[in-house]
Amino acid sequence: MDYFPLFCRLQGKRCLLVGAGDVAERKARLLLDAGADLHVGALDFSPAFQQWAQQGKVTLLQGTFTEAWLEACWLVIAATNDDAVNQRVGDAAEARRIFCNLVDAPQEASAIMPSIVDRSPLMIAVSSGGRAPVLARLLREKLEAMLPQHLGELAALAGSLRSRVKRTFASMAQRRAFWERFFASDRLAQTLANGDRPRAEHIINTLFDAPPSQRGEVVLVGAGPGDAGLLTLKGLQCIQQADVVVYDRLVSEPILNLVRRDAERIFVGKQAGHHCVPQAQINQLLLEQAQSGKRVVRLKGGDPFIFGRGGEELEILAQHNIAFSVVPGITAASGCAAYSGIPLTHRDHAQSVRFVTGHLQQHGEIEWDKLAAEQQTLVFYMGLNQAADIQQRLLQHGMDAAMPVAIVQHGTTPQQRVETATLAQLETLARQFVSPALIIVGRVVTLRDRLRWF
């Protein structure tokens, strides 16, 4: 280990920054965020430093570096564009036993400035010891993307509860179990993100008071249309925290590979005309798993609230006072259309878009006269087996037989297949496809030849 990682409290402590250019500005912002009593020495100062000085945030020392600037300093950063000046600052700091960071010369420095992920009070520092700063930055960017912004607030809240947890739970095992539930509670995290403190207090009290049989929760997660890259960041975080993942046929294998390795996976796949597991049984399964105290993710293709029956599943959980939350997903209509080069709306062709279930006989009468209107896009989910009926109804209600249509199969995946035709040809075209497939009807389909990229 070339450098000992250490977090220092700099509030009110004098720190010296030599240099006042762009690089120095970045260092200054970090020191100011840490509450340092910042002194900046340079021949000339950028507008940012001049503004900070006017606001009383920094003290400017104009001129060439002198050792007098080091008086009473706790930390020094040399960030000029002159290597000789930087080295002179480093040597002077070394003689006085003051830690010094030398920009662009980390091998000569006694201190390294890491790449920082700031979720105060939670702090993560990444350093390559100055050997690969770009790699450290890329790792920091990955961590920034993975860690939600409210994580610091969650950590601060945890700190305020430590004494209460110690009083409430006698054993270390009980405390550890509480903290696992606390940090894995998606409802609590979302409530904090929304700034709803009263509801957060209610959720915390529930975590303290609820018996083990009621401490499970269910998160309904939209997996998107297939491409694992379209899974939302929050969805990824949820499936990596789950004890149990209940998934259906439309969830792609690359997304399942992102599930925590030790999580239990339960397949409840359904397809048109054949339900592997009845919906009532799925509802009961979610209920039983949550009642046993597990963190359950119900992983659904697309978005769970768009023809995904997510609302039905949550109604059962609500009836039994099971904690639940929802993470929306990119719906199949949006993902498949985008990957096919078909905008769902367009100023010249469609001012609205309608999502329609293809299970026409099961969900009451559809207002076909409104669906057949111009200047809109229709997207039929699960409509492949009903293509003949869709074609007939739209034609009967006045839609142009030459209206462009497209069918997208295995949308957003490497196996994606897209074919276009006219409404008069829809029934014939549909016979060439197998589920899962989406039917898009509208003049926006004509834009595919110009906008396709997948």
Active-site residues: which are they?
248, 270
Q: Is 23 annotated as a binding residue?
A: yes
Query: Is 382 assigned a ligand-binding role in the annotation?
Result: yes
Residues 318 and 358 in one domain: no
Do 325 and 358 belong to one domain? no
A 10 A CB-CB count for 5 gives 10
Closest listed residue to residue 299, CA positions, set 334, 355, 253? 253
- 233 within some domain: yes
Helix, strand or coil for residue 76? strand
Same-domain pairing of 343 and 443: yes
Statement to judge: residues 353 and 317 lie in one domain: no
Q: Is 195 annotated as a binding residue?
A: no
pLDDT score for 292? 85
Q: What is the pLDDT of residue 211?
A: 58
Question: What token pair was written down for 131?
Answer: 């050997």
303 is in an annotated binding site: yes
Instruction: Please state whether 355 falls in left (phi above 0), alpha (psi between -120 and 50) or beta.
Output: beta
Residue that is last in its domain, among 330, 347, 362: 330
The answer to whether residue 195 sits within a structural domain is no
H/E element, 344: none
pLDDT of residue 174: 74
Backbone phi and psi for residue 398, each to the nearest 5 degrees, phi listed first: 100, 5
Sequential DSSP letters for 43-74: SS--HHHHHHHHTTSEEEEESS--GGGGTT-S
Task: Name the pairing type of β-strands 270-271 and 274-275.
Answer: antiparallel
Is residue 276 within 8 A of residue 269, CB to CB? The reply is: yes
pLDDT at 213: 46
* Residue 293 placed within a domain: yes
Residues 316, 223 within the same domain: yes
Shared-domain flag, residues 216 and 292: yes
**Domain annotation covers residue 261:** yes
User: Same domain, yes or no, for 284 and 359?
Assistant: no
- Beta-strand runs (E) in 374-436: 377-381, 404-409, 417-422
Structural Rg of the chain based on CA atoms? 30
306 annotated as a binding-site residue: yes
Q: Is 82 annotated as a binding residue?
A: no
Whether residues 324 and 306 fall in one domain: yes
pLDDT of 172 reads 75
Question: Side-chain half-sphere of 342: how many Cα atoms within 13 Å?
Answer: 33
Bridge partners, 41 (sequence order): 18, 61
Residues 392 and 307 in one domain: no
On whether 302 is known to bind a ligand per the annotation, the reply is: yes
Phi, psi at residue 249, to the nearest 5°? -65, -25
- Are residue 323 and residue 417 in the same domain, yes or no? no
pLDDT < 70 regions, the chain: 106, 173, 210-215, 270-276, 360-364, 453-454
Query: Does 66 belong to an annotated binding site?
Result: no
* Structural domain containing residue 353: 333-451
Residue 205 within a domain: no
Same domain, 294 and 350: no
CATH number reported for the structural domain that contains residue 411 in this entry = 3.30.950.10
Say if 395 falls within a structural domain. yes
Residue 239 sits in a domain whose CATH number is 3.40.1010.10
Do 348 and 438 lie in a common domain? Answer: yes
Say how many domains are in the chain. Answer: 3
Q: Is residue 194 part of a domain?
A: no
Q: Was 43 annotated as part of a binding site?
A: yes
Q: Is residue 403 part of a domain?
A: yes
pTM over 0.75: no
